[in-house]
Structure 1
Amino acid sequence: MTYVFSAASFHTDSASQLNIKEKNRFQVVTGKDGGSIRLDESQCRTVDWPEYDYLTAEAYHESHNVLVLLFTFYEEGNRSITVHYGLLPYVKTKICLPLQALNGERLFLDRYPGIMQSVLRGDSSVDRRRISGFAISTIESVAVRSFELSGLTLSRSLPDFEYEAAPYIDELGQLTGKDWAGKTQSLEELIHMLNKERDTARENNQTHASMGHYGGWKKLCFEPSGYFRTEFDGKNWWFVDPEGYALFSTGMDCVNPHDHMRVNGMEHLIPPLPAVDGPFRDAWSSHSYSFAVSNLICAFGEEWREAWADLTEHRLKEWGINTVGNWSGADFIGRSELPYVYPMFDFPTTKATIFRDFPDVFSPEYEQNAMAFAEQLLSFKEDRRLVGYFMRNEPHWAFVDGLDLTEEMLRHPFVFDCKKRFVAWVEEKYEVIGHLNAAWETSYLHFEQLLDCRKVEITESSASKEDFAAFNRMMIRRYVEVPARYCKEADPHHLNLGMRYAWVANDDLLEGCELFDVFSINCYQFQPDRQLIERISKRLNIPVMIGEFHFGAADVGMLAYGIRAVATQEDRGLAYRYFVEQAASIPELIGVHYFQLNDQPVLGRFDGENYQIGAVDVCQQPYRPFTEAMRQAYDRMYEIRIGEIEPYGECPKEIPKTGF
């Protein structure tokens, strides 16, 4: 059973042009500011959406970078969900959307063959029975975009994903068909450059005289505790290293020799790869392959790990990196002299979750799992190089602005312990059901009806909204407090660095966070949000750090430029310097960690991201204008922090992102 959309049933906005090639094949041209085509509302409402499992189409475009294509579904009222697809240029690609994704339970969708990253944005869910609109659009870009779609179809089965072989990258993992400044021209050139730099690193591996053993700044000293801690000196917050020296943490995330490229589903775009069990076995990981590692093996043979670690340690120190950031390799950390942070894994959850990854936080299961979760810190208790630990990264439930966890919980058929706690709480507050009905404008016969999702009434009553919001805060506090307390019991020496929220949609996310030693947030902007950081710090009475930021550029051999982008590597360096120096001038901010050491693979990492955001490329060559600016920022940041000099003040011009 299938339903094929006719090209003639779509209409464009003023920024787009629709060219119908055949009945179910059409070309769309959008302006630099993006544009969209939308299915006629009358036809959209006649489609029996729940009868189908997949929306599929074949897409093609000839841009200079990844095309981000958006499929948006509108529900009667104001709800909508948009799925973002990344499509490679000059490659026919089959898009496949499982319509079950519209329930909103997953932020990142399964990656089908040929597709880059697939991300879901918008409201918490869209009811397929109430779909009132469907649109296809692009995001803002540096140039006019043109793409072709054919065979836009609803079906009950997956399409076939047969593609013609057409290698897209060369033997070194670089994009074919394009040249750029700094591109490695041959394997021989790669081997020569890496060995020459390693020899230089061996001869010049010295610590800066003004820095202590743990990277702290010797010109400002506090009472040492033997471990990293925080200190407010009356003006600025600081990390204090085990020797007592002040530290503003400049970190590098993902310090690994690799960023593995997923092979499954992309075989038609990859040149022949070496055997899994041969000399290049270390480049393989499950169904993924790292050209960065295979290039290191070519350069250094069996001792490639040691050579990479020596080279990378030297580079990080030269660039002004004083902390090994999240998701870095344990082997490198073990060999390094630099302080590091630890990303905890397996954040406590429950078998049934309220929304996405938000667990049933009042259940005994959550408490038991939190206790087990904290035990991973026991082996780090005496490590003086460990700055602290992040309990988790970017909770997926927190990506939905305006999310009402209590409403999601009540609509869910499962009888959560949280739901029982809520019923007990409102019964204690209102005492008799009539009082609740009067306040909420509902018609419940007894409180226990709130446990049955079929009998739940959601109204616009201000009293019910206030009660829901209050219980949201109670659940979020419990979500934070339980694992935080067990972590501090397991490891009293090291700093709890928080959860690295993607952003703070509202202050409810701060509930319980006073138990952290540092509040962490990821910040994909051109400068940190000074007012937000000050507000968080003053409310919680703790400092703030930024766990991720990055910038990409359009002038090299990559097809996507990340979440924030500029035109050239020179501008990229200025963007880094501007961000870090502005950060150093914010009293409540005590560290910024860059994401990440390596460019992502041209054909995408495990989830399809393929950003030009690294300090080094796939051939392990640094982007020199970028890394030179990193060092400039580091050399100035302490004088900026104590007010002796002003931070760099010229923000480079941003270009439209190609991030998903």
Structure 2
Amino acid sequence: MKYTLVLVALVFSFNSFSQDKKSVWDGQKQIELFDFENKKDIKSVKTLTSKIEISNKKGVTKGSKALTLFLKGDEKLSGIDIKPKKVLNSKGLKDFCFVFDATNLTNVSANVDVEVHSSKGGVFRRMACMPANSSETYYFELEGKDVEVENGLRNNPPAWKSKSFMMANKGARSKVDFSQISKIRMSIRSAYEDKIIVIDNIRLVESPERDPNYLIGFVDKFGQNAKVDFPLKISSDNELKKLADIELKYLATSKPMDNRSKFGGWKEGPQLQATGYFRAQKYKGKWALVDPEGYLFFSSGIANVRMANSTTFTGMDYKNEAIRHRDPEDVTPEDSKNIVAIPNEIRKTAYKAYPGRRDMFVELPSYDDPLANHYSYRRESHKGNIQHGETFSFYRANLERRYGEQFEGSYLMKWRDVTLDRMLDWGFTSFGNWAGEEFYGSKRLPYFANTWVIGDFKTIGKGEWHNMGDPFDPEFARRAKYSIDIVADQVKNNPWCVGVFVDNEKSWGSEGSFRSKYILALDALEMDETSLPIKGVYMRFLKDKYKTAKALSKAWKVNIDSWNTLSKGISFHNAKKPNKTMAADMGKMVEIYADKYFQIVHDALKEQLPNHLYLGCRFTSWGMTAEVRKAAKKYVDVFSFNYYREAFGKKFWSFMEEFDMPAMIGEFHYGATSDSGIPYSGLQQASDQSDRARLYKQYMNEVIDNPYFVGAHWFQYFDSSITGRAHDGENCNIGFVTITDRPYLEMVKAAKEVHKNMYERKYGETKK
């Protein structure tokens, strides 16, 4: 997009500036940081794959000037750093917010990230979706009562009333001293197209008086936001049942799209060799899956269609610790467990472990209520201040309200059938990862199986998500085989099972700094060889290559006085100016680790499930390196990536040209807070439900157009609880259906539009 042409073409009708006539910020003590009225402010701005100019037109909210950002699409990052010569001082302010005005001059919404860096160490990262052609005030707290407090919610609702837009957390909460600010970054990442954003009036403002009850009673009996209205809000049990009856009548006459084979492949396209199982094949320059009957197949699905992630902490716990017992041979992580029945003798020991948490709910069923069967227990959480405790599934409870219970569990059987009817009616060709096992035998929609390698084996380091298992520990291989044997019993020789994902979003390391890229080697090298099998493997690699510790020291330009010293452990995490030889050796060690991991999993899978595809471990954009991908290439049948960005894009995927292998998107999504009643949009944001639908279509069509990708899976089927899923507090508007099981019609329409001509778009011909 040519910026000059865009500016000439801009004839927009803007929303009025969204502050109140008397803004919530008026009268509050504040410090102006940048208003871009003088050259000094401009000299502090550094462009990052972007352009800037001073404007005196749209977007000026203070004085006569503002800063216009011309941001580039399909870039890893495009934005600005504002870094003044002297640190910015917040002296004199108590609890305070970072506040700025922004005008989006683009015809589509923009996902904008803001980082505020403290000169004393630490950074806050926040995000907002700026609606198309809009002017808004955006803010987030830097200092305040709740800034670093973990309460089981990824993002809180606003603590005071305002028309300004509260930016959402991007990462975990933490305590940072913002008495001095060293840098401000504003950016977009991997956007579909160029964006033009005008920034003005950046300031620190003392926080308004907060509502002391803003977290009390904000969840109604249906799990909805009790304090705001929104389009799909349910008001009664009868309304739920009435809407269910209307949908059931419609679904009774619906059917899959006409051009689909038995397994969802392209019936009107070419028919290749049929093997009775799913496989991958390159067809006329494009990778494809091939269904059991030989038809070209693209896996468009929804992930996490199950009850395991539907619960939220209630604030209650039990004094009887028997509920926290673990079977050492268990192969299922806590966040993948279904509802756990709680014996009455344990329930009798319930107590209010987290009073503030319990007070969030207007109404929860008593233990003798028919809906008490939707209570469960979580023995651990990944993030947040609640380590373990009682949980409740509003989604399950609403299903029972919606469909009734003719016999025990009948509402779940009805949900299973309705879900399958919906998926086929909406045009999906498969489930994504983590489909409930109740769908495995339906013979209506293909699915993917999954497992994890978890157990009491040696681990390396302290990854963000979990320690990384040592694949050279024999216990690792035993646990991998044990887990895969269990999956094999569930799906072996079932033609409806496309393949198996093993593990998820592991901490492989990331491109960037020396430390982040080679963390698997660095963490192992500082450990004692006698306590970690892979350390011995690394030692043999270095001894074979360098023969003496002196030669290694010379090559790496570090001091290693003996092999014995290195064997006991040396830290190279903060090595000054590591040279190319050291980096190459670290890269080789990371590859050794990854090669062994993928080889163990591959061999165990192919022994038990030779007819099913191995779909890898679902890499992330932030957690993989070239060395790990190189190792995986030798073993996986299809690469898998969880990729949360505004756009799928092209530049990031250039490495696929080198590999020339099929790949799949395991997760992506968008959410909106404006019309869902949910405090947190999700990892990628939209301005409203219509914008979610637009972004979904855009992303899907980009994946379909890529010659290497054979599928993409939306995460997830239903919205998160607004009080946060028990695993990590995510409280997002990311579902195709609400917590009351009402479909978002904008998303349904978008899915049908994508799927209607998906195969023609992907493979571009019909059978002669």
**TM-score relative to the length of structure 1:** 0.76
Find the counterpart in structure 2 of residue 259 from structure 1. 310
Find the counterpart in structure 1 of residue 678 from structure 2. 558
- Does the 8 A contact of 2:241 with 2:402 survive in 1? yes
The aligned runs of 1:370-385 (5 Å cut-off) are: 370-379=480-489, 380-385=491-496
User: What is the rounded CA distance, in whole Å, between the counterparts of 2:278 and 2:115 in structure 1?
Assistant: 51
Q: Deviations over 1:562-617 (max 9, x none)?
A: 12212121121121111112211111110000111101111111111011111111
Query: Following TM superposition, by how much is the alpha carbon of 1:178 offset from its aligned partner in structure 2, in angstroms?
Result: 1.5
- Unmatched tracts of structure 2, length 5 or more: 1-29, 35-81, 83-87, 102-112, 123-135, 144-149, 161-167, 189-196, 316-353, 378-389
* Alignment partner of 2:232 out of 182, 185, 192: 182
The aligned runs of 1:344-355 (5 Å cut-off) are: 344-347=451-454, 350-355=457-462
* Alignment partner of 1:89 out of 142, 157, 172: 157
Alpha-carbon distance change, 278 to 121 in structure 1, aligned in 2, over 3 angstroms: closer
Find the counterpart in structure 2 of residue 29 from structure 1. 98
Query: Following TM superposition, by how much is the alpha carbon of 1:252 offset from its aligned partner in structure 2, in angstroms?
Result: 0.6
The aligned runs of 1:405-554 (5 Å cut-off) are: 405-413=520-528, 415-453=531-569, 458=575, 460-503=578-621, 505-514=624-633, 515-533=635-653, 535-536=655-656, 538-553=657-672, 554=674
Report SS of the residue matched to 1:216.
coil
- Does the 8 A contact of 2:97 with 2:139 survive in 1? no
The aligned runs of 1:280-299 (5 Å cut-off) are: 280-286=371-377, 287-299=390-402
Find the counterpart in structure 2 of residue 57 from structure 1. none
User: What is the rounded CA distance, in whole Å, between the counterparts of 2:117 and 2:709 in structure 1?
Assistant: 44
User: What is the rounded CA distance, in whole Å, between the counterparts of 2:173 and 2:630 in structure 1?
Assistant: 24
| 1:331 partner amino acid | E
Alpha-carbon distance change, 177 to 579 in structure 1, aligned in 2, over 3 angstroms: same
* Alignment partner of 2:359 out of 265, 268, 271: 268
Q: Deviations over 1:208-265 (max 9, x none)?
A: 3321111111122111001111111132111111111111110111113672222124
Report SS of the residue matched to 1:565.
coil
Find the counterpart in structure 2 of residue 403 from structure 1. 517
| 1:480 partner amino acid | F
Alpha-carbon distance change, 531 to 425 in structure 1, aligned in 2, over 3 angstroms: same
User: What is the rounded CA distance, in whole Å, between the counterparts of 2:469 and 2:684 in structure 1?
Assistant: 32
Alpha-carbon distance change, 37 to 216 in structure 1, aligned in 2, over 3 angstroms: closer
Find the counterpart in structure 2 of residue 389 from structure 1. 500
Report SS of the residue matched to 1:204.
coil
Find the counterpart in structure 1 of residue 262 from structure 2. 213
**TM-score relative to the length of structure 2:** 0.66
| 1:545 partner amino acid | M
Report SS of the residue matched to 1:463.
helix
Residue 605 of structure 1 pairs with residue 673 of structure 2: no
The aligned runs of 1:609-648 (5 Å cut-off) are: 609-643=730-764
Query: Following TM superposition, by how much is the alpha carbon of 1:501 offset from its aligned partner in structure 2, in angstroms?
Result: 0.7
- Does the 8 A contact of 1:184 with 1:619 survive in 2? yes
User: What is the rounded CA distance, in whole Å, between the counterparts of 2:545 and 2:583 in structure 1?
Assistant: 15
| 1:516 partner amino acid | V
| 1:221 partner amino acid | Q
Residue 576 of structure 1 pairs with residue 696 of structure 2: yes
Find the counterpart in structure 2 of residue 5 from structure 1. none
| 1:270 partner amino acid | F
| 1:603 partner amino acid | T
Alpha-carbon distance change, 435 to 70 in structure 1, aligned in 2, over 3 angstroms: farther
The aligned runs of 1:338-377 (5 Å cut-off) are: 338-347=445-454, 350-356=457-463, 357-377=467-487
User: What is the rounded CA distance, in whole Å, between the counterparts of 1:450 and 1:456 in structure 2?
Assistant: 11
User: What is the rounded CA distance, in whole Å, between the counterparts of 2:264 and 2:238 in structure 1?
Assistant: 37
- Does the 8 A contact of 1:545 with 1:590 survive in 2? yes
Alpha-carbon distance change, 547 to 348 in structure 1, aligned in 2, over 3 angstroms: farther
Alpha-carbon distance change, 88 to 627 in structure 1, aligned in 2, over 3 angstroms: same
Find the counterpart in structure 2 of residue 104 from structure 1. none
CA RMSD in angstroms, aligned pairs only: 3.8
* Alignment partner of 1:240 out of 277, 286, 290: 290
| 1:369 partner amino acid | R
Report SS of the residue matched to 2:561.
coil
Query: Following TM superposition, by how much is the alpha carbon of 1:145 offset from its aligned partner in structure 2, in angstroms?
Result: 9.8
User: What is the rounded CA distance, in whole Å, between the counterparts of 1:550 and 1:224 in structure 2?
Assistant: 33
Residue 329 of structure 1 pairs with residue 456 of structure 2: no
- Unmatched tracts of structure 1, length 5 or more: 1-9, 45-63, 72-82, 93-115, 123-127, 151-161, 646-660
User: What is the rounded CA distance, in whole Å, between the counterparts of 1:40 and 1:378 in structure 2?
Assistant: 53
Identity of aligned residues (%): 25
- Does the 8 A contact of 1:262 with 1:289 survive in 2? yes
Report SS of the residue matched to 1:566.
coil
| 1:467 partner amino acid | D
* Alignment partner of 2:243 out of 183, 193, 196: 193
| 2:712 partner amino acid | V
| 1:434 partner amino acid | K
User: What is the rounded CA distance, in whole Å, between the counterparts of 2:539 and 2:468 in structure 1?
Assistant: 19
Q: Deviations over 1:305-325 (max 9, x none)?
A: 122222211111111111111
Query: Following TM superposition, by how much is the alpha carbon of 1:393 offset from its aligned partner in structure 2, in angstroms?
Result: 1.0
- Does the 8 A contact of 2:511 with 2:625 survive in 1? no
Q: Deviations over 1:104-159 (max 9, x none)?
A: xxxxxxxxxxxx9894599xxxxx9xxx9999999889999988789xxxxxxxxx
Alpha-carbon distance change, 485 to 35 in structure 1, aligned in 2, over 3 angstroms: closer
Alpha-carbon distance change, 456 to 337 in structure 1, aligned in 2, over 3 angstroms: closer
Report SS of the residue matched to 1:28.
strand
- Does the 8 A contact of 1:249 with 1:591 survive in 2? yes
- Does the 8 A contact of 2:220 with 2:363 survive in 1? no
Alpha-carbon distance change, 65 to 255 in structure 1, aligned in 2, over 3 angstroms: farther
Q: Deviations over 1:376-424 (max 9, x none)?
A: 2321211111000101110034468533221221223564221112222
Report SS of the residue matched to 2:306.
coil
Query: Following TM superposition, by how much is the alpha carbon of 1:557 offset from its aligned partner in structure 2, in angstroms?
Result: 1.1
